[in-house]
Chains A and B, each alone.
Chain A
Amino acid sequence: MTAIEVSDLRKRYGDVQALDGVSFAVQEGEVFGLLGPNGAGKSTTVRVLVTLTKADSGTAAVAGHDVRREQSAVRKSIGYVPQDSGVDVFGTGRENLMLQGRVQGMSGRALNERADELLELVGIADAAGRIVKTYSGGMRRRLDIAMGLVHRPRVLFLDEPTTGLDPEARVAMWHEVSRLAEAESLTILLTTHYLEEADQLANRLAIVSQGRVAVEGTPTELKARLQGDAVHVELENGHVERAQAVLATVGARPEQVLNGNTVVARADDGGRAVPAILSALDGEGIAVASVSVSRPSLDDVYLHFTGRDFSTEDRGG
């Protein structure tokens, strides 16, 4: 069954076309990733799906309910963990959790027991009586997630769940999310601008770029579609076009140029291709500054399907 169905969403803020025809579908029980640099439209998509923002056009349904016409049904069936937390930092962890449960219509013993269970599950039971202001970034994120889960939603939205966490806490959070997805049999939609995060967590993902979905598939599928390893050849003095022609003669398929001086090519076996590439370039008198070979990664997938370099784009955004 389809847990989330998004069709041709468009949203404009002033001069910025934040969403430019976003479409994708998420099956029940999936962990689905929206991957893209900052400003690509991931958060806006999520905000439309959780009924915070109205799209200018297009349709979307979550857990079978239209986000425009059946808002309260959507709000009951989702948990939303926003990028900017939204916990009351002057309240305790437990108070935040209880209030969240109350506005979701829970009360009494059921709510108390659920709160205990969740505080235990996300590992902040010991800190539950403390003011959130005293929490570390990781603890705060765990509380956020507990608040998103309190009413046993069917679909959980995690907007940039590990942004602002140190690498160790990030890896811990990945384990946490995988575990929760199983324990609570949830459908999860998460947004991230960390390629490894999408690779680690998502069963399937959509790459979002400039307000639209560039490509959708499992991480393995997407990588397989690249066929071959990526060979990055950085040139000393330019001559990019000549270098591309030379590469093509030794069985490497030139794909892109980065920063005006680096040719990216695909080769079926990158390790073997390098000596041939180097001697061919040397024969033409083109100086090489560096060469690197990498197995297909989501970085390459991003570059391949959007024509832009992920890290440059992310910094720029």
Chain B
Amino acid sequence: MTVVRHTWFMVVRQAVNLMREPIWIVMMIIQPMVWLILYGQLFKNVTRLGGFGTGSYITFLAPAIVVMNGFFGATWSGMSMINDLEHKVVERFLATPASRVSIVLSQIVRSALTAAIQAVIILLVALALGVRIHTGAIGWIVIIVAGMLVNSAFAGISQAIALLTRREATMIAVANFIGLPLLFLSTTMMALSNMPHWMQVTTKFNPVDWGVRAAREVVLPGTSWGTVGWHLLALLALTAVTTAWATSSFRQYQRSL
């Protein structure tokens, strides 16, 4: 269980460092609220188009914002790896018996834990804005898990890119390139039936949308647990694949030394 122990040590290191950054903490708390409130206000009347399953746009939006926030956070998670590579923190670990997998895994776990904390904040704000989650406590858990899984899946990709390119500029470019397109190619802000046909098709292949569908399913009445289960399972499988990619990129980095 060395991997679990070492991953924990390294997650704690990253978390303690972040806790020392007051601006980071404030941003982490405020940013998801901004998404929820801005989008919620801007598109308030869009439910008149129909197909939203509810007349309350904020109810439709809140679970998706949790997922979107997890996704956005994940696209930047590689920055912390690049920082550790640049400061040779990784090399120092490599000359010790530290678990190699933990070095990568801890980055993904830290990213997912951040997403979970933000998910709770978003859901609390949503609650205050009158959003009611139909399935109750289990629904809360599903939404948080969906946010964490989308985050982990994309954090794996972000870590792999960080390890392969080792350049901040590349990371920023990739994050910007995939961020908004994947957001708009999902049902985060718009009901499926109001989207052009080709977009409706692409949402099926968009992991962000898998998370959105699972999370939204538990909010409104008539929850299909099959839909929830399959989408979460697909995200879990994807997370396994991208994490494997990240760890193999790490081995490639080691060989380059």
Contact = CB atoms under 8 A, between A and B. Distances in A.
Interface of A: 47, 50-54, 72, 75-76, 78, 80, 82, 84-91, 95, 99-100, 102-105, 131, 147
A102 B10 CA distance: 10
Contacts of B6: 102-103
Nearest to B86: A84
Given A72-B97, A103-B6, A103-B98, A87 B89 contact: yes
Contacts of A87: 87, 89, 92
Contacts of B87: 84-89
A255 B9 CA distance: 59
Contacts of A131: 20
Given A47-B257, A99-B9, A52 B96 contact: no
B228 to A, nearest CB: 39
Given A91-B17, A131-B20, A86 B88 contact: yes
Interface residues on B, range: 20 to 34
A10 to B, nearest CB: 16
14 contacts: A47-B257, A80-B96, A82-B91, A84-B91, A85-B87, A85-B88, A88-B87, A88-B89, A89-B87, A91-B13, A91-B16, A100-B92, A100-B96, A105-B97
A82 B92 contact: yes
A248 to B, nearest CB: 51
A115 to B, nearest CB: 14
B17 A86 contact: no
A76 B98 CA distance: 10
A99 B13 contact: yes
A95 B92 contact: no
B195 interface: no
A95 B10 CA distance: 11
Contacts of B225: none
Interface string B93-129: 1111110000000000000000000000000000000
B9 A52 contact: no
Nearest to B98: A103
A142 B60 CA distance: 56
Closest 3 CB pairs of A and B: A86-B92, A86-B88, A103-B98
Contacts of A52: 91, 94-95, 257
A103 B96 contact: yes
A99 B20 CA distance: 17
A95 B89 CA distance: 13
B96 A86 contact: no
Nearest to A91: B17
Q: Is the interface of B mostly helix, strand, loop or mixed?
A: helix
A87 B86 CA distance: 11
Contacts of B257: 47, 52-53
Contacts of A78: 95
B90 to A, nearest CB: 8
Nearest to A85: B88
A169 B20 CA distance: 30
- The winner among A51, A75, A86, A95 for most chain B CB atoms within 10 A is A86
Contacts of B16: 91, 95
A95 B13 contact: yes
A90 B91 contact: no
B97 A75 contact: yes
B97 A84 contact: no
Interface in B12-32: 13, 16-17, 20
Interface in B174-191: none
Interface in B243-257: 255, 257
Contact of B95 (A50, A88, A105): A50
A88 B88 CA distance: 9
A84 B88 contact: yes
B96 A75 contact: yes
Contacts of B20: 90, 131
Contacts of B9: 99, 102-103
B84 to A, nearest CB: 8
Nearest to A88: B89
Interface string B131-165: 00000000000000000000000000000000000
A50 B93 CA distance: 11
A86 B97 contact: no
